[in-house]
Amino acid sequence: MNFAPGAWKYAILPLLVAPFALVFSVTASLLALVASAGTLAFFRDPERTPPPTGVISPADGTVSVLREEGDRVRLGVFMNVWHVHVIRAPFDATVTDVEHVSGANRPAFSKESDRNERVHVRFETTSPNLPAPAEPAPDTTQNRDEPTSDAEVTFIAGAFARRIHPYTERGDDVDRGDRLGHIAFGSRVDLLFPPTVDLEDVAVDVGDSMTAGETVVLESAADSGGTFVLER
């Protein structure tokens, strides 16, 4: 089993304590071992195989937010303690910005969590799994005339999740299903779709169970018969 970076930093202390806890009781030693094993379980990082088409969920968990925000659609996935906490890219893209925003640590399932500490990972994408934007004027300076879309994945800390660890930085290219980072001990991940996505395009609803890197949250333009552009 693979583990996210930092797993042993949290698991080693209760593991080292376990033999000395025998001095006091077998129960105390067992509890320390359970705490160590539980910590490693939080950081497990299994391999995932994306389906052939579609935008995929960035996180394990349950859909807790699905709403329109101006000309955008936001999909929020709440991660419980038993979910994998490694976040994945929902489509092929280039990272344009990684921004850390300080804030509160409210429970991730509450409305107040919108003001929690977070990390925004912003993308530019030409993925055919998203509706294509309008054709731009040819860019002769960069020899690039493909229409691009911008999107965002946000890691949101919760009441106990105060360690957000992005793996990417500006300029990185990510493939669909690649690991973007992890949140130590929880708690919510939001996907802000490009303006070309409408609420009725989303293939999931509030309460649905998600598997990062595998659950399709938006069918590809090819499957829906729409117009789309070539992958970068």
Q: Which residues are catalytic?
A: 187
CA angle, corner 28, sides to 26 and 29, nearest 5? 65
205 residue type, one letter? D
Contact 106, 114 (CB under 8 A): no
* Collapsed DSSP state (helix, strand, coil) of residue 102: coil
Pairwise CA distance, residues 116 & 133, whole Å: 31
| DSSP state, residue 3 | B
Name the nearest CA neighbour of 221 among 212, 231, 211, 213: 231
Contact 34, 63 (CB under 8 A): no
* Collapsed DSSP state (helix, strand, coil) of residue 216: strand
Q: How many angstroms from the chain centroid is the CA of residue 2?
A: 18
